[in-house]
Amino acid sequence: MYNNNKRLIILDADGTTIDAYSAIDKTFSRHGMVIGDEERFQKRRRLFKYLGGLKEFPSNLKKQIGKQSRKQLIATLTEVYREEAKLYPGIADLVRSLIATPDIAVGLVTRNMTNEPEQTLRLLFRRHDIDLDALDFFAHIPLHLEKMQEFRAIRERLDINPARAYICGDEHKDYLAAIGSGMHPFMVSYGFESYKRLIKKFLVPEEIISRSPEELCGRVRHAMGLDDPA
């Protein structure tokens, strides 16, 4: 049925491998806006994540009105990502280990909102000694497209058994996309959605949720049979 015995792991970018909250917080601060603390940030719907919560919304909205203001905000976000944003602790070592394992196909998916997102992430990962060209794939998914379609397309293109395929994500939509495409989800609660929100509101099984980057790295290494870094 399948022409190879490879395993597949799809890594989400913002909020799973990249500390997106810190980058967004720095960006807003440089434009005189406040995004609010991380706990409240995780509880918001997508619109409010980037405009701040109800407390910060009126002031932030005034400063974002107009295409020019939005362009400036995106330009600053791009600069922060390219020059300052960081991968979560342990992620760089994990990605390098996955790349170095011949029977694992590994790549990155993102909805990153910076200018030229592939170049942005290329520079960010390069600062962590990772070349995006060493990955098996990179996919920027526009907001109007469902992740499930892209996940399935990646797996089918690489001709990998869904039982040997994994997805790492930080939002309930990542979980639904993983299940919907027949793959196994690794979920995290330190990104865009909190532990409580994932398990209470969206009924994500707590057994598959990592509450720290270190826990995620340990789970993935165990599942993929990778040695812990020295």
- Write out pLDDT tens, residues 46-102: 543 444 443 443 444 445 544 457 788 889 999 999 999 999 999 999 999 999 999
Distances (CA, A) of 63 to 67, 78, 82, 113, 207: 11, 18, 24, 18, 42
Residue for token digits 């526009």? 142
Higher pLDDT, 16 or 48: 16
Q: Quick one: pLDDT at residue 70?
A: 76
Degrees, nearest 5: CA angle 149-153-154: 120
Go through the chain and tell me how many residues it has.
230
Q: Quick one: pLDDT at residue 1?
A: 79
For residues 101 and 217, give the distance between their C-alpha atoms in angstroms, rounded to a whole number. 15
For residues 184 and 175, give the distance between their C-alpha atoms in angstroms, rounded to a whole number. 9
Sequence ranges of the domains in the chain:
7-19+87-224, 20-83
From the number of C-beta atoms within 10 Å of its C-beta (0-12, 13-18, 19+), residue 154 rates as buried
- The 10 Å Cβ neighbour count of residue 48 is 18
Q: Which phi and psi (to 5°) does residue 73 adopt? A: -65, -45
Distances (CA, A) of 25 to 36, 121, 223: 8, 18, 33
Percent of the chain residues topping a pLDDT of 70:
85
Q: Quick one: pLDDT at residue 16?
A: 97
What is 7-19+87-224's CATH number, 3.40.50.1000, 3.40.50.12780, 3.40.1180.10, 3.20.20.70? 3.40.50.1000
Under the banding of pLDDT at 50, 70 and 90, the label for residue 209 is very high
For residue 105, the number of C-alpha atoms closer than 13 Å in the C-beta half-sphere is: 20
How is 25-86 classified by DSSP, letter by letter? HHHHHHTT-----HHHHHHS-HHHHHH--TTTHHHHHHHH-SHHHHHHHHHHHHHHHHHT--
